Amino acid sequence: MPELPEVETIIRRLKGGGGAPSVLGQKIQTVEVNWAKIIAQPDASQFKQALMDKTIIDARRRGKFMHFPLDEGHLFAHLRMSGDMRLEKKSEPVEPYDRVLLNFLGDQRMVFSNIR
């Protein structure tokens, strides 16, 4: 299970640490849920609708949760037992354990993957 340092490292990476691209200011164009059971609340279709056309304002850690304040609302994520969150180009192939993909305007997407 990822511990606080791993969660903090992922948040820093998503915020553009080390010169990497950042999720800050990215507008969510579409949402893909490849395994509906990964979404706790609401159901997958409501989850998709709630996130479309929202902009990520910040990325924070709240304990072991990742908190993404949006221009309207919030997104919370937990890495579960073996999860990871990454920012990549949309042209990258979708991996077998990529559970949720937030496709941004432009060529980037944020991916939540979890082998379990």
Token representation of residue 103: 């496709």
d(CA 76, CA 34): 18
The pLDDT assigned to 76 comes to 96
Q: Is 33 helix (H, G, I), strand (E, B) or coil?
A: strand
Q: Is 11 helix (H, G, I), strand (E, B) or coil?
A: helix
Q: Which residues contact 115 (CB under 8 A, 6 or more apart)?
A: 82, 97
Q: How many folded domains does the chain comprise?
A: 1
pLDDT by residue, tens only, the chain of 116 residues: 678 999 999 999 999 998 889 999 999 999 999 999 999 889 999 999 999 999 999 999 999 999 999 999 999 999 998 999 999 999 999 999 999 999 999 999 999 999 98
**Domain extent for 48:** 4-114
CATH number of domain containing 42:
3.20.190.10
